[in-house]
Amino acid sequence: MAKSNLSALLSLLFLISISFRTLAAQNDVVASAICPRTKNPPFCATVVQSAATADLKVLAGYTLNLAHTNAGDSLCLARLLAATAASPLLKWRYSSCSASYDGAFAQIRQAQKHLADGDYLDVTDLTTGVVAAVAKCLAKFKKPPPDASGLTKNGKTLEDLCSIVLVLADLLPGVRTDGNGNQRM
């Protein structure tokens, strides 16, 4: 009886090992197809590996969730910095970034809804809007004084996440529709 249980356990461990290797291989294929098309391929490979899925829609959802978290954290940080900055110029910059991240946060939520509905063109449009909002914030720090808070680093990470989502939305099959359910090209 003990040999039977041991054999069953070893068989199960073997199958789990094969499953993990198969998933890792699928993730490598997904990463090699997607990541070279993104703004930051090494970052993309890390995200794809951490997602542990080869399903493009699931991967897009995972990446949008990361973007949503990043945008929310960046929004909170920008608000805090705007409230506490001693320099009027930095106060203005952080306030402006707060508004940008507020818009980005809302657009990501909408993109998540459109992804769930299969409206990938809208995901692309909204994600492009997020990139524009982040770029608007980052542009404010091209001249001194620099941002020492990490807000600009968060912004670059959000841009990298959006780059992945844009590639995925382009690769996802399906009918593209507008907000009224009409097909779009």
% of residues, the chain, pLDDT over 70: 78
Q: What is the pLDDT of residue 27?
A: 56
Least confident of 5-9, 14-18, 66-70, 180-184: 14-18
Catalogue the long-range contacts made by 143-149 (C-beta closer than 8 Å, 24 or more residues apart). 145/87, 145/89, 145/90, 147/93, 149/77, 149/81
pLDDT digit string, tens, across residues 155-167 = 999 999 999 999 9
pLDDT digit string, tens, across residues 10-44 = 554 444 444 444 444 455 667 788 999 999 999 99
